[in-house]
Amino acid sequence: MRLATHQLDSADEPIEDLHALEERLALETAPAASPDLLPVLGANVRRLRTKRGLSLERLSKLSGVSRAMLSQVELAYSAPTINVMWRIAHALGVPFGALIDADIQAGVRVMRSAEAKVLASHNGSFQSRALFPFEAPRRTELYQLRIKPRGVEHAHAHAAGTTENLVVAEGRAVIGVGHDSFPLESGDAILFPADVPHLYENPSHTEEAVLYLVMTYANEVGG
């Protein structure tokens, strides 16, 4: 991970906390990301933050994401974890898709697997691939989720009225909603309110789980 040198000036974390800062950045950084994702993500976060009149410090406090990580994201130096992206989107008051929205043409779209926008957890055990274009107004978004054996991803509550509809295409999964857990086999589906904390888990020791997720918002987004 490339660490921008200006992040360690007097306005940032103190020099004596450098070790703690490096550890926090390691937890907030995904191991890999699609090459074309970083500049799009960085430009969107900077644009939305500036539009709302937020400093990096203020956005850091609102999102719980370190100021250093936010700077790395805006400079397109580092890929944040999917959990960090959810927190940034929530703090900015935008849907998740707004952070990876690119200026693309309308009409028929073929989204090649090799060009997919893939986000991951800090240890790479959870991956999310967007399967929808961003330019049109929408209330739904489609994602492919991959969870490695024994992988667990905790998700913060999304905007009020958001729901998720999941189907397990391969393997097994456990979906946690609030204090309840729902084990799912291949072919099983679940619909649940996503405006509460929830989690995705693969209980298998050997088999990857592949799920498809339809996210539905209470209000139209995008466009």
Residues 75-134 have pLDDT tens digits of: 888 778 888 888 898 899 887 777 877 654 445 567 677 767 778 888 889 999 888 765
Q: Domains of the chain (ranges plus CATH)?
A: 5-100 (1.10.260.40), 137-221 (2.60.120.10)
Rounded CA gap, 208 and 125, in Å? 9
pLDDT > 80? residue 60: yes
| pLDDT, position 208 | 98
Q: What is the pLDDT of residue 20?
A: 61
Mean pLDDT (whole number) for 42-64: 91
Phi-psi region of 124 (alpha: psi -120 to 50; beta: other; left: phi over 0): left
Measured from the Cβ of residue 63, the count of other Cβ atoms closer than 10 Å reads 20
What's the chain's average pLDDT?
81
**What pLDDT score does 113 carry?**
77
Q: Say if CB 158 and CB 194 are below 8 A apart.
A: yes
> pLDDT digits over 143-189, tens only?
999 999 999 999 989 888 999 999 999 999 999 999 999 999 999 99
* CA R_g for the chain: 18
Residue 179: the pLDDT is 92
Contacts (Cβ under 8 Å, ≥6 apart) of 174: 181, 182, 183, 184, 199, 200, 201, 202, 203
What tokens appear for 11 in the block? 């306005």
Q: What is the pLDDT of residue 27?
A: 61
CA distance 33 to 36: 8
DSSP-assigned states of every residue in 93-137: T--GGGGG------S-----GGG--EEE-TTSSEEEEE-S-SSS-
Cβ atoms of 166 and 216 closer than 8 Å: no
Q: How many CA atoms lie within 13 A of 123 on its CB side?
A: 9
Percent of the chain scored above 90 by pLDDT?
41
- Collect all residues with Cβ–Cβ distance below 8 Å to 46 and sequence separation of at least 6: 74
What would the mean pLDDT of 49-74 be, rounded to a whole number? 90
